[in-house]
Structure 1
Amino acid sequence: MAYLACPDLNYSNRPVRTRMPGGVAGERPIRAVPYADPNFLRRAWSNRIMGTLYDDDIIAWSEQQAALLRAGQWSQLDIDNIAEEIEDVGHREKKELRSRLIVLLAHLLKWRFQASHRGPSWVHSISTQRVAIDDALEDCPSLQTLLDDPQWLATAYRRAVRDAQAQTQLKVFPTELPWRMEQVLSPDFWPG
């Protein structure tokens, strides 16, 4: 049986008689249960359970971790996965903002360059994306820095152009964002 790697493990060097292939008796050392740290097995078992729970049921894992945090049981926390989840929250928020902005820009491009196809569904989609972006900025004000970043906006705009071209088969869209971000997000802006 293999044990988790730990630098302070003590193994027994007591030889054990074994029968080797071909009938020759031999000796091999066996590993005893680690006893240098009396809490080793409890921690190893706890980490194994938490790792499995994290992989199998993220909701149960998150509830368990929240309870451990509130109880101040710091040594039992699944620190690596907690850190990963915290980082993922930021990534998800940024990804959602980018996705909503791409949809908004693609619809504004179609609105501007395919006026004959304007309809209530486009109005609804544009309005929905604007409200969702406004909500995201209200919930996470630090996302505003992305909307102020010319490189980030250029990337989002290129993707919006690609989507608008795929949906309309038109190749008339400007290569650079033709509007200021204040216009794009304004509920009164409808490019004509």
Structure 2
Amino acid sequence: MAISYEHDVAAWAKEQVTLLRAGQWALLDVDHNTMKNQREAIAKLLQKMPSLRQVLEEVEWDEDVWKDALDIGGREADLVDLPAIREWDYEQVLKDGYLPS
């Protein structure tokens, strides 16, 4: 990670996209990345509404969410060759600091 978020956010964002496209997960700036923010928001929701965990286990919902994620990843970050089926379970994905390999 050569460009700091604090120094130049636009250049930082461009670098982050380049790292995403290259699959360089370990080099991403997860402290300033939205994944951390999203994980925190999801954790808060699950604490307030524990019954939502059941929804995470519904196959149809899971397939719809993953399809949306593939679409967004492709359009917004030009990510390609993403797996057609999500390879990571929700407990794993929601762990602080987790990045797919």
* TM-score of the pair, normalised by structure 2: 0.68
In structure 2, the CA distance between the partners of 1:141 and 1:187, relative to structure 1 (3 Å rule), is same
**Any stretches of 5+ residues in structure 1 without a counterpart?**
1-109
Aligned residues: 82
Amino acid in the other structure paired with 2:48: D
Name 1:11's counterpart in structure 2.
none
Quick one: distance in 2 between partners of 1:158 and 1:113? 21
Name 1:126's counterpart in structure 2.
35
Give 1 or 2: higher strand fraction. 1
Name 1:96's counterpart in structure 2.
none
Name 2:88's counterpart in structure 1.
179
Per the TM alignment, residue 120 of structure 1 is displaced from its structure 2 partner at its CA by 2.6
In structure 2, the CA distance between the partners of 1:123 and 1:115, relative to structure 1 (3 Å rule), is farther
Quick one: distance in 1 between partners of 2:21 and 2:93? 12
Quick one: distance in 2 between partners of 1:154 and 1:122? 28
Give 1 or 2: higher helix fraction. 1
**Any stretches of 5+ residues in structure 2 without a counterpart?**
1-18
Aligned with 2:55 (options 125, 129, 146): 146
Structure 1 runs of 4+ off > 4 angstroms? 110-113
Larger radius of gyration between Structure 1 and Structure 2: 1
Q: Which has the higher contact order (CA 8 A, sep 6+)?
A: 2
* TM-score of the pair, normalised by structure 1: 0.38
Amino acid in the other structure paired with 1:152: W
